[in-house]
Structure 1
């Protein structure tokens, strides 16, 4: 299914480059669509990624000789929490930087803060691109579900990053995130990393997805929809459980 994965990778690229033109994402208070996207992403993490971490942990038992790696083998969920903390720290850093520049006509984060923020999301995207080709899909339907979950998640992320870094994201950020998808896919197409590296990347990704969804859903000014969020979560959960 490598060619299908490549088509989906291109789909992710197009989302990053052109999501600004989607009318569903231009509405503030935010559209119901983004709340549905949040529900889908959370369902994917809890019903697919986290159970997969349990499988990784079982498969790695006894395989790692290094003491620190053995610790990770038995505490893989700590890495998911670390991923959440990393993205939380980034968001806090960006907000603090913008507050320091509030005297400007259009307050923005410092240039260095922007680049750290966007490069971290590029690594995040690269992992998703890698998983697109290297994830252990049961069938084509499983790949379609992965694509759909990450597609709506990317739309929500794009909306948030564009609101945080209006000019810089449009000029540089979206191109870097789009390229990261293809780079991650290309690495996955030509090589396969060790299972323990895969488990680390998956754990960090899970934590990052959870934080990014909560970041978009919880602030009062977003006026997100609980009903839409639950609709996305329940509908996608049913699809995952049926496959």
Structure 2
């Protein structure tokens, strides 16, 4: 992988090592949320199979895994967790465990997470208080009641969620979408950085862009740009 640009001039353009990537993608000291997304050249977030994994490249996989390693928690919508078959995170090499935070407006736990009780505390399931009681009961049975949070009345209050996560020591988040959750996060001004991979293909069709939802125009400043596997990988910071 090659570094093309570093706004802080910590490294010169050229080949980078694993330690260099960790330095470039390190989170700031303050609590922050980084959107992590991939898009084709024509703006699609999925391939023909409606899954983002099918448009990934080796370079994208490297950066994706690195950011999970650096983060305290992954924030993802239930629809994306269901479509991409998310599973409870495994214990990391240093003995720590990434927390998977799944946001669901309807309260339906993705089937691939129903065995999370074998990995206690690795999954937090978040719904509004209006979620169907039967679905909440199922989630509590699978995850444990303390790992099912109800926040907000008819919709999950994302600002309150981030505050609670910070209070639990989960300060650095990566938000892996999907587009609807990311749109809501942008609308609430809760995204601080965007790690966007541009995959070297086009797919056509009517697939979503990386953000769905109300208009929420934001200016971004390029912080890092890399190239690998014929893929561009950028890290952008939201300007406020």
TM-score by length of 1: 0.27
Q: Which structure has more RCO (C-alpha within 8 Å, separation ≥ 6)?
A: 1
TM-score by length of 2: 0.27
Higher percent of residues as strand: 2
